[in-house]
């Protein structure tokens, strides 16, 4: 009986996840004001999470569930950030620590980085909530600041530099062929396969999301004693690595390009407090980025503006929420 119930739950999860994906791909950006990148999910996103929350902590996690969980970051991260709340599975550690699964056997490096990314993805929305509260307060709340700093340190610790280096060692560098691209980057990454490029994009994206918020936090909490120069250098490195994924990634079809488009909104958030990136004016980088985040599945329209991108990026670092000023 238990096995049957588990199968039904897997079928339910698959059904809701597919409906969510279909609704996401069919949404009309103009129906909700238009011209903003929709990272915030659909009305069905909560259904996916509801199925997960309905399962008891000791429920065996099937490979199907693990596969779906691997790409639920809209429901577990971006949608909550857009709503101004922690992740709906923030209080369920079993969903932070899901063992990744792929269509083929994952290398140890991929497995390590995906596990870290899944934890970061679930726990970062709470940090954004803290940062937003601190940004909106006229006076610093010491208790809130302490909670934010503690969480920031925990998220910063979710890193494996050896696995990061191992991943990058498998990438080749190729000269930039397009003149407009060359003004931003002299070379791009060449990835061995879609699994590695997807892992790289998502891991770098969520590490960058953490760093963006940590640096935003440091602007308000002056006692934050992390090495800010090192964090800012790490932020720059992640931005450049994500930009360097463009030439190869955009040739791989919608599966990879939608990950890149979402990541570039996070990159935009990392540019908010900068004027120059690696010697290139940030204004030039943003002009280069804008057409690349006008992705159909993110609901960008051809007349989307930098102002819309600025608003979306600010949401990701505790700025005003959509529709709330």
Least confident of 21-25, 47-51, 140-144, 268-272: 21-25
Q: What is the pLDDT of residues 4-43, one digit of tens each?
A: 454 447 666 655 555 555 454 444 444 444 444 455 455 5
Q: Which residues pair with 173 in a beta bridge?
A: 189
Q: What is the mean pLDDT of residues 138-149?
A: 94
Instruction: Decide if pLDDT at 110 tops 50.
Output: yes
pLDDT of the residue at 180:
85
State yes or no: pLDDT of 200 exceeds 60: yes
Tokens 């809130």, residue? 144
Task: Give the pLDDT confidence score for residue 194 in this predicted structure.
Answer: 82
SS (H, E, C) 249-303: HCCCCHHHHHHHHHHHHHHHHHHCCCCEECCEEHHHHHHHHHHHHCCHHHCCCCC
CA pseudo-torsion sign 49, 50, 56, 60:
negative
Q: What is the pLDDT of residue 205?
A: 97
**Ranges 61-70, 126-135, 195-204, 240-249: which has the least confidence:** 61-70
SS3 106: coil
Highest mean pLDDT among 24-38, 67-81, 142-156, 165-179: 142-156
Q: How many of the other CB atoms lie within 10 Å of CB of 261?
A: 23
Q: Are 196 and 301 in contact (CB under 8 A)?
A: no
Count Cβ atoms below 10 Å from residue 186 Cβ, excluding itself.
11
Closest CA to 106 of 96, 114, 118: 114
**What was the pLDDT predicted at 259?**
85
The answer on pLDDT for 140 being more than 70 is yes
Query: Largest Cα–Cα distance in the chain?
Result: 63
pLDDT (0 to 100) of residue 2 = 45
Helix (H) or strand (E) holding 189: strand 187-190
Considering only residues 140 and 103, tell me which one the structure prediction assigns the higher pLDDT: 140
Partners of residue 189 on adjacent β-strands: 173
Q: What is the tens place of the pLDDT at every residue in 282-296? A: 999 999 999 888 765
């Amino acid at each position: 009986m238990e096995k049957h119930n588990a199968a039904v739950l897997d079928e339910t999860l698959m059904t809701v996840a597919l409906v969510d994906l279909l609704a996401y791909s069919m949404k009309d950006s103009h129906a909700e004001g238009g011209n903003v990148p929709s990272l915030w999910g659909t009305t069905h996103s909560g259904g996916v999470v509801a199925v997960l929350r309905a399962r008891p902590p000791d429920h065996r996690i099937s490979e199907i569930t693990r596969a779906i969980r691997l790409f639920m970051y809209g429901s577990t991260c971006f949608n909550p950030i857009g709503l101004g709340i922690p992740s709906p599975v923030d209080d369920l550690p079993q969903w932070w620590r899901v063992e990744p699964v792929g269509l083929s056997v994952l290398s140890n490096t991929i497995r390590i980085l995906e596990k870290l990314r899944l934890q970061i993805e679930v726990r970062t929305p709470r940090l954004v909530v803290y940062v937003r509260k601190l940004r909106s307060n006229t006076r610093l709340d010491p208790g809130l600041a302490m909670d934010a700093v503690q969480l920031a340190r925990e998220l910063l610790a979710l890193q494996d530099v050896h696995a990061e280096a191992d991943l990058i060692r498998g990438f080749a560098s190729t000269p930039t062929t397009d003149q407009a691209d060359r003004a931003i980057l002299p070379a791009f990454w060449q990835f061995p396969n879609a699994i590695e490029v997807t892992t790289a994009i998502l891991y770098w994206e969520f590490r960058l999301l953490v760093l963006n918020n940590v640096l935003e936090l440091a602007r308000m909490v002056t006692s934050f004693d992390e090495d800010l120069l090192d964090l800012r250098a790490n932020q720059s490195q992640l931005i450049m690595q994500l930009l360097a994924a463009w030439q190869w990634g955009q040739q791989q079809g919608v599966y990879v390009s939608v990950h890149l488009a979402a990541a570039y909104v996070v990159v935009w958030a990392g540019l908010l407090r900068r004027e120059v990136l690696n010697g290139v004016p940030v204004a030039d980088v943003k002009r280069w980025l804008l057409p690349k985040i006008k992705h159909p599945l993110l609901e960008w329209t051809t007349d989307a503006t930098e102002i819309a991108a600025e608003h979306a990026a600010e949401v990701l670092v505790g700025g005003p929420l959509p529709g709330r000023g």
